[in-house]
């Protein structure tokens, strides 16, 4: 089961965040990018795959909120299946968490580069 229009709803929300772009994903679906970094992608209206640091991925899987990635279960990636309208909002929350992690990491890299230029 999936929610018709889930991908459209998610894409409309994610593209409102600063510096976000959308591109076709190499394995089908839509990829969400912060600069050149992928924060996740969606396959149709049913499946969202999102990268996280392993510690966050473990926390999410252990809490039962998500599953380990359906193809790469030992990676930092998670898979989230959309089955109802509430799941659309959960998928957006998960993508926002990935966005925040990526934003914080980019800010740390920029600060380090700036500090090394002084």
> Quick one: what percent of the chain has pLDDT higher than 70?
92
Domains of the chain: 6-113 (3.90.1150.30)
Q: pTM of this prediction?
A: 0.89
Q: Is the pLDDT of residue 115 over 80?
A: no
Q: What is the mean pLDDT of residues 23-29?
A: 86
CB-CB contact of 14 with 41 (8 Å): no
3-state secondary structure 11-42: HHHHCCCCCEEEEECCCCCEEEEECCEEEEEE
For 96-106, the pLDDT digits (tens) are 999 999 999 88
């Amino acid at each position: 089961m999936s929610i018709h229009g889930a991908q459209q709803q998610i894409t409309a929300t994610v593209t409102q965040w600063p510096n976000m772009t959308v591109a076709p994903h190499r394995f089908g679906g839509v990829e969400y990018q912060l600069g050149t970094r992928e924060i996740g992608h969606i396959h149709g209206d049913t499946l969202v795959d999102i990268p996280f640091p392993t510690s966050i991925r473990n926390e999410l899987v252990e809490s039962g909120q998500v599953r380990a990635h359906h193809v790469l279960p030992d990676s930092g990636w998670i898979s989230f299946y959309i089955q109802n309208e509430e799941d659309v909002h959960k998928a957006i929350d998960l993508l926002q968490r990935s966005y925040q992690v990526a934003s914080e990491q980019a800010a740390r890299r920029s600060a380090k580069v700036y500090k090394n230029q002084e």
